[in-house]
Amino acid sequence: MFKNFIKQNKLAFLMLAALFLVDRFSKFFILKLVEQDGKLDLYLNTNLNLYLIWNKGIAFGLLSFNESTIYNIITALILVIIFIILIMIIKSKGLTKYSLVAVLAGALGNVFDRIYYSAVPDFIDFHIKEFHWFIFNIADIFITMGVFCLIYVELFINKEIKENEKNY
């Protein structure tokens, strides 16, 4: 039974490991740049800079608090959500499974930072003229892409499946 479980989820867990490692490498690289220069403020092009901030909140710096009790509660809540996503991955298939894997990889990358650094290093500063989006990291990209794919599955793929079931 366990062997069958591993076989059925092998690709998902390989993807999870690969995405987690991409996130870890990106943050390691950025932190090494900061270590060498003392700061990070790199202009890449007219719409993209690398600028390091330490995020103690949740997605895109929302709910940032200095209060350690609230920070720990948020971290515990994220760990519970990670466990729920893991169960959902095991029970799902197809694009839903891999979308959840992307969300989980990003969540694991950020929760690792919350535990190890007590904050998440965000460093991608996307902007159009004077409008700056929240500064984010690679893990946030994985989470966002996973959520968009889940929305796509729900709006288009599951809707089509339900319509086909009605016709039979």
Catalytic entry in 23, 113, 122, 125 = 122
Active site residue 122: yes
d(CA 151, CA 166): 22
Distance separating alpha carbons of residues 166 and 144, to the nearest angstrom: 32
37 counts as catalytic: no
Burial of 145 (0-12, 13-18, 19+ CB in 10 A): middle
Residue 71's nearest CA partner among 118, 122, 137, 121 is: 118
C-alpha distance from residue 25 to each of 6, 22, 48, 82, 109 (Å): 26, 5, 20, 21, 10
Catalytic member of 23, 113, 125, 140: 140
Q: Which residues sit opposite 41 in a β-bridge? A: 51
> H or E stretch including 64?
none
Q: What gap in Å lies between CA 49 and CA 122, rounded to an integer?
A: 12
Q: Active-site residues: which are they? A: 122, 140
